[in-house]
Structure 1
Amino acid sequence: MRLTKGRALAVGGALAGMLAGGPAAYATLQGAEGGRGTPYAETRLYFGTERPDGGPAVTDEQFMDFIDRKVTPAFPEGLTLHQGVGQWRDSTGTIERERSYELTLLYPAGQADDRDARIEAIRDAYEKEFAQDSVGRADDTARVDF
């Protein structure tokens, strides 16, 4: 899926019912008492594998190499990766489908501002390296217990 900013917003829009209200939500969650776990921020990134220029799709090996080089150094604490199929409607009304990846990052809510630059660097690097229009992003809050 070639995720343009508009398409990324459409994908993110489908998740809107699950998403919290930004920085105010982090502050509320940090101040919440009771309940299991520690306040964390959760970021999900959505990576398409088809290239807008029609070139060869990003392979599993290329994607895992990208994770090893760009994501793991920025988030050595851990991550979760799911492979799936993305879908969107293009400007002609055609439904386009492609192999995709969803990356989930969890980090302490108090570190959300520090982690934002790392996340944006990952998105920018993938867009440039694999000629993508966009990498989708969704942020939420969670209580996490390991």
Structure 2
Amino acid sequence: MHKAGAASKRTCLSAAMGVIVALVWIAPVLAEPCADPLKPMLRAELFFGRSIGHRFGVSDRQWQSYVDRELAPRFPGGFTVVDGKGQWREGDAILREASKVVILVAPDSAELRTRLAAARQAYIKRFKQKSVGLVTQAVCAAF
């Protein structure tokens, strides 16, 4: 083996070991449990557009019906609804849309994620939407 090749290999191994040591050192900080009384939870934010096509289409009454029939039964622990104004770019056009943002915090589970997916699909189907945005984040929370 060439001296240059051996030195290069040692440099790569040293760098890899440095990364491993850093990860081992940082991992406990990232995985710290929640301070009492907080508990590990999942925060989910759902973004519901209120337009159908290029016109305003989901009325307040229709939205409340969706909340009563789809969201409340799936998330009996509660949630918050906030009015929003979405904006995005499609090609050269800037599009804007009235929206509703639903925020909920609950213990994370496969069942919760299934309920989130079902709530999104129900809205997409009912109001002919392209999508319903979903953002999730692990948090510490207490209620």
TM-score bracket, shorter-length normalisation: 0.7 to 0.9
Q: Report the CA distance shift for 1:31/1:64 in structure 2 as closer, same or farther (over 3 A).
A: same
Select the structure that is richer in strand.
Answer: 2
Residue equivalent to 1:89: 89
Distance 1:30 1:79 in 2: 26
Q: Mind listing any 5+ residue stretches in structure 2 that lack a counterpart?
A: 1-28
Q: CA RMSD in A?
A: 2.0
User: Hey, what's the Cα distance between the residues in 1 that align with 2:79 and 2:95?
Assistant: 28
Structure number with higher helix proportion: 2
CA contact (8 A) 2:42 2:137 kept: yes
Which is greater in Rg? 2
* Structure 1: runs of 5 or more not aligned: 1-27
- How far apart, CA to CA, are the structure 2 residues paired with 1:37 and 1:122? 27
| Alpha-carbon contact 1:36-1:143 (below 8 Å) kept | no
Show the counterpart of 1:71. 71
d(CA) in 2 for partners of 1:29, 1:60: 42
Which residue of structure 2 aligns with residue 127 of structure 1?
A: 124
TM-score norm. by structure 1 comes to 0.72
Question: Quick one: distance in 2 between partners of 1:64 and 1:100?
Answer: 13
Task: Name the structure, 1 or 2, with higher relative contact order (CA <8 Å, separation 6+).
Answer: 1
Q: Take 2:31 and 2:78, find their aligned partners in 1: how far apart are those partners?
A: 22
